[in-house]
């Protein structure tokens, strides 16, 4: 693999603009090489030599020059190609500038441009790296203070006898009774510049003092952690239940310490997660430094090869002497953080501690591909069998066709909606990975547990096999209106299939991607309890998906009606005749939109962002339009038709504008790509214009149920509703890709590559440390 592709594959995507632009520098060198080749061709007499011959001549010339250079060493100043110096710039900032000494030679303008661009890239990388190092050092100090409070809380919860030295020369001495024996400990923890000294209360009865003798000088520069820390901190109350959220509305989000074991457990869990996220940040920052240093080495060697000069040595010496090459703060922080985490959160077990710190890697399994192919083949075979059965028995013209479409078709269409949505999401994950969108970070998946497109397609194909097999079992029975021909067991197949899917979804055992199932359940629960939880991207993203599954919700409602109120043995129901069912028919449909409406209001109050208020109005208008369409569908009439058409028209325009301009970030007139946006993942711009047109058309499809201009005689009304619902799911799948693309570029623009983890303690007085 060429280095340019290797660099693109290993870089942190949210920091991609901060990396050295290797491809641009390589392009300048390519122009220089072409110029030299053309110059050599024009200066050589006779017929033009082939490019291969020219390369051999240049190679021989370089070899000969090298040999002659060994005979007599010229003066040093004649060998110099560049001079690199650090220049003071705008106060205390330094930037490096390269002076090219051979600009008067032919092609010197290319080399001069190369070094100008090289200096720009190096200063950019250096400035970004210095800024990030300062950020992690500040974060390390904050974690130090958090760890001091945690250690003091551990001591207080264990309730030892504390003896505080009256002098200021040493740390607090703690006499704790562990297993009936008095133990003496010290409590000191510092990260960052003062992280070398680590002293901890060992609840297991062991006493360690890491680095105390090595860093006695550092120990006197700060105040050691003691129980007095607890007098200046409060616990950050992170509401994890609706009840705790309601309590926070009355009280402050910060409360006094209760010194309970449960409080200690939650604080340890939060701080442990903060350490893990901080460790990943340090590792990526270390990788950033290494990759850029390697990139400068590669590009300078390429320059030497093309120009037959020896400029790389001088430039790389400057790189090695710069902050990028000499700074060792990140490595020291990594070492100290590992030691601290192993000691305080892994009971001294290094293997366990390192395993917790380093994220798991997603392993591609051959059995996933095998079963995906198997289930896909079975699905195709079952579809063919269903088509043959329908055609052979002429079921489209059968006397029991209407009874089947009114009673059985809605039961199975639920699985069709779910499978289609899963297929679209699987296609989305494939495209996100193809275009290097960091969707696991955006959604907040635990590293190594996110589902790839193969796993998603496997689940979709497996569910489709079950559903299609159940459909075929119903079609094999002759659709006769006489009740004697219906079998109770066959009619219960859809209910059994739903029960199986629910059992797998909520199964507590570690099978069938348990972490992903629980993540989905957790997000769904937070959507149900909106606005009692803080709104995160996975929450409102899932709520948006559910707004495209209105017919699926109604199918679930029909399950309850058909098997609870109807006579499934006779394949009949009178659900629509019930006023209660009609009211629930409306309420069930607006639940996902209402959840999304409340999410926008919660974000409006928390973030004080006016756009969230406008977004809430969008969902409210959709709720009104949906209610009007449903009432018209149930009661008909000119008045309800006018109301449904007008509200649907308004919400269609509103939603379409929001999709394209706000969620996708397109239609920017002054963008680098006219009427799109400055940055695009797909190089073919026509794709974006096609997506805009398709989104508009699919938005308008919803109005066909109101205007009744699309009634197809060969399709049953239930089938037409299912087709419209499938088109909405397809629109949502297209929306997903461009929505996350826009979110990805927002993270790139802000260099946001890590999620913020709430810390357990809040210091009331920042000057105490």
DSSP output for 688-717: HHHHHHHHHHHHHHTTHHHH-----TTS-H
CA–CA dist 114, 24 (Å, integer): 9
Q: In this predicted structure, what is the pLDDT of residue 237?
A: 66
Q: Where are the beta strands (DSSP E) in 22-121?
A: 82-89, 93-100
Q: Biggest alpha carbon distance in the chain?
A: 109
CA–CA dist 288, 18 (Å, integer): 9
Angle between helices 261-307 and 329-345 (to 10 degrees): 150
* Selection from 293, 477, 388 nearest residue 301 by Cα: 293
Q: Which residues pair with 183 in a beta bridge?
A: 176
Angle between helices 579-607 and 550-564 (to 10 degrees): 140
Hey, what are 434's tokens? Answer: 């193809």
* Selection from 205, 182, 186, 203 nearest residue 148 by Cα: 186
| 3-state DSSP assignment of residue 421 | helix
Asked whether 705 and 711 are in contact (CB, 8 A), the reply is: no
Count CB-CB contacts under 10 A for residue 664: 22
CA–CA dist 475, 490 (Å, integer): 10
CA–CA dist 458, 369 (Å, integer): 8
What's the number of CA atoms in the CB half-sphere (13 Å) around residue 238? Answer: 14
Contacts of 748 (CB under 8 A, 6+ apart): 13, 14, 15, 16, 17, 679
What's the number of CA atoms in the CB half-sphere (13 Å) around residue 418? Answer: 22
Count CB-CB contacts under 10 A for residue 412: 18
CA–CA dist 405, 255 (Å, integer): 59
Hey, what are 79's tokens? Answer: 């060998």
Count CB-CB contacts under 10 A for residue 630: 22
Q: What CA–CA distances, in Å, run from 480 to 209, 388, 472, 491, 614?
A: 84, 19, 16, 14, 54
Euclidean distance between the first and final Cα of the chain, in Å? Answer: 50
| 3-state DSSP assignment of residue 100 | strand
Contacts of 470 (CB under 8 A, 6+ apart): 412, 493, 494, 497
Contacts of 398 (CB under 8 A, 6+ apart): 404, 479
Hey, what are 551's tokens? Answer: 């017919």
| 3-state DSSP assignment of residue 196 | coil
Distance of CA 220 to the CA centre of its chain: 44
Q: Which sign, positive or negative, has the C-alpha torsion 68, 72, 77, 82?
A: positive
Asked whether 280 and 334 are in contact (CB, 8 A), the reply is: no
pTM of the shown model: 0.82
What's the number of CA atoms in the CB half-sphere (13 Å) around residue 133? Answer: 21
What's the number of CA atoms in the CB half-sphere (13 Å) around residue 592? Answer: 20
Hey, what are 767's tokens? Answer: 């000057």
What's the number of CA atoms in the CB half-sphere (13 Å) around residue 1? Answer: 8
Angle between helices 312-321 and 261-307 (to 10 degrees): 160
Residue 423 phi, psi (nearest 5): -65, -40
List, as one string, the DSSP characters of 425-486. HHHHHHHHHHTT--HHHHHTPPTT----HHHHHHHHHHHHHHHHHHHHHHHTS---SSGGG-
Edge-to-edge order in the sheet of strand 173-178: 161-163, 173-178, 181-186
Hey, what are 288's tokens? Answer: 């950033």
Asked whether 82 and 311 are in contact (CB, 8 A), the reply is: yes
* Selection from 191, 258, 143 nearest residue 759 by Cα: 143
Asked whether 719 and 409 are in contact (CB, 8 A), the reply is: yes
* Selection from 234, 646, 573 nearest residue 407 by Cα: 573
Question: Residue 513 gets which letter from DSSP?
Answer: S
In residues, how long is the chain? 769
CA–CA dist 28, 33 (Å, integer): 9
Q: What CA–CA distances, in Å, run from 668 to 267, 674, 676, 685?
A: 46, 7, 5, 14
| 3-state DSSP assignment of residue 479 | coil
Asked whether 373 and 367 are in contact (CB, 8 A), the reply is: no
pLDDT under 70: residue ranges of the chain = 1, 43-79, 88-93, 159-226, 237-255, 360, 362, 477-487, 702-714, 765-769
Asked whether 732 and 545 are in contact (CB, 8 A), the reply is: yes
Asked whether 98 and 328 are in contact (CB, 8 A), the reply is: no
Q: In this predicted structure, what is the pLDDT of residue 204?
A: 33
Question: Residue 567 gets which letter from DSSP?
Answer: B
CA–CA dist 215, 188 (Å, integer): 12
CA–CA dist 154, 148 (Å, integer): 10
Hey, what are 343's tokens? Answer: 């000691």
Q: In this predicted structure, what is the pLDDT of residue 597?
A: 96
Q: In this predicted structure, what is the pLDDT of residue 207?
A: 33
């Amino acid at each position: 693999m060429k280095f340019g592709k290797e660099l693109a594959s290993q870089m942190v995507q949210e920091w991609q603009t901060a990396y050295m632009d290797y491809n641009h520098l390589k392009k300048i060198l390519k122009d220089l090489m072409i110029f030299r080749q053309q110059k050599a061709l024009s200066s050589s007499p006779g017929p033009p030599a082939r490019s291969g011959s020219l390369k051999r001549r240049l190679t021989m010339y370089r070899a000969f020059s090298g040999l002659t250079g060994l005979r007599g060493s010229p003066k040093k100043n004649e060998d110099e190609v560049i001079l690199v110096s650090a220049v003071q710039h705008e106060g205390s900032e330094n930037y490096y500038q390269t002076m090219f000494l051979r600009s008067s030679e032919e092609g010197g303008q290319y080399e001069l441009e190369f070094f100008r661009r090289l200096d720009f890239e190096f200063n950019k990388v250096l400035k970004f790296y210095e800024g990030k190092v300062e950020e992690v050092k500040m974060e390390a100090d904050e974690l130090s203070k958090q760890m001091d409070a945690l250690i003091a809380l551990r001591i207080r919860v264990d309730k030892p006898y504390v003896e505080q030295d009256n002098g200021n020369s040493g740390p607090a001495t703690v006499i704790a009774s562990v297993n009936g024996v008095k133990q003496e400990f010290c409590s000191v923890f510092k990260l960052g510049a003062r992280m070398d000294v680590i002293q901890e209360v060992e609840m297991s009865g062991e006493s360690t003092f890491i680095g105390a003798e090595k860093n006695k000088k550092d120990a006197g520069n700060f105040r050691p952690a003691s129980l007095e820390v607890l007098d200046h901190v409060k616990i950050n109350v992170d509401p994890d239940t609706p009840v705790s959220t309601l309590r926070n509305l009355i009280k402050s989000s910060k409360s006094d310490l209760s010194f309970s074991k449960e409080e200690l457990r939650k604080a340890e869990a939060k701080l442990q997660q903060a350490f893990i996220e901080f460790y990943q940040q340090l590792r990526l920052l270390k990788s950033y430094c290494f990759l850029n240093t390697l990139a400068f080495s590669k590009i300078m060697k390429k320059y030497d090869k093309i120009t037959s000069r020896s400029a790389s040595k001088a430039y790389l010496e400057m790189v090695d002497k710069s902050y990028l090459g000499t700074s060792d703060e990140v490595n020291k922080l990594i070492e100290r953080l590992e030691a601290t985490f192993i000691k305080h959160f892994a009971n001294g077990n290094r293997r366990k501690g390192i395993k917790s710190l380093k994220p798991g890697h997603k392993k591609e399994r051959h059995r996933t591909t095998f079963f995906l192919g198997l289930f896909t083949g079975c699905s195709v075979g079952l579809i063919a069998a269903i088509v043959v059965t329908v055609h052979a028995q002429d079921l489209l013209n059968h006397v029991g066709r209407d009874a089947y479409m009114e009673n059985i078709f809605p039961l199975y269409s639920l699985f069709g909606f779910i499978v289609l949505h899963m297929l679209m999401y699987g296609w989305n994950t494939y495209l996100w990975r193809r275009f290097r969108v960091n969707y696991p970070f955006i959604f907040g998946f635990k590293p190594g547990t996110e589902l790839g497109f193969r796993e998603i397609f496997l689940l979709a194909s497996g569910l489709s096999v079950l559903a299609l097999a159940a459909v075929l079992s119903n079609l094999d029975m002759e659709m006769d209106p006489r009740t004697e021909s219906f079998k109770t067991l066959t009619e219960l197949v859809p209910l059994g299939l739903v029960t199986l899917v629910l059992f797998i979804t909520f199964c507590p055992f570690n099978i069938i991607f348990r972490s992903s199932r629980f993540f989905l359940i957790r997000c769904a629960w937070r959507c149900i309890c909106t606005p009692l939880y803080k709104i995160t991207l996975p929450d409102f993203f899932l709520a948006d998906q559910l707004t495209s599954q209105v017919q699926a919700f109604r199918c679930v409602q029909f399950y309850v009606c058909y098997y609870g109120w109807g006579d499934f043995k006779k394949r009949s129901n009178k659900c629509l005749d019930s006023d209660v069912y009609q009211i629930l028919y409306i309420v069930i449909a607006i639940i996902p939109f209402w959840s999304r409406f409340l999410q926008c209001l919660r974000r409006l109050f928390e973030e004080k962002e006016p756009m969230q208020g406008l977004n809430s109005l969008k969902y409210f208008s959709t709720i009104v339009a949906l209610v009007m369409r449903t009432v018209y569908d149930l009661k008909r009439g000119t008045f309800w038709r006018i109301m449904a058409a007008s509200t649907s028209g308004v919400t269609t325009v509103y939603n379409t504008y929001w999709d394209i301009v706000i969620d996708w970030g397109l239609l920017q007139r002054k963008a680098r790509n006219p009427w799109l946006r400055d940055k695009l993942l797909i190089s073919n711009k026509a794709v974006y214009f096609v997506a805009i047109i398709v989104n508009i058309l699919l938005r308008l499809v919803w109005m066909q149920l109101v205007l009744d201009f699309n009634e197809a005689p060969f399709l049953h009304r239930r089938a037409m509703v299912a087709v419209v619902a499938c088109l909405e799911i397809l629109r949502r799948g297209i929306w997903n890709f461009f929505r996350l693309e826009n979110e990805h570029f927002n993270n790139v623009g802000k260099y946001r590559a890590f999620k913020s983890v709430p810390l357990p303690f809040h210091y009331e007085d920042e000057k105490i440390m």
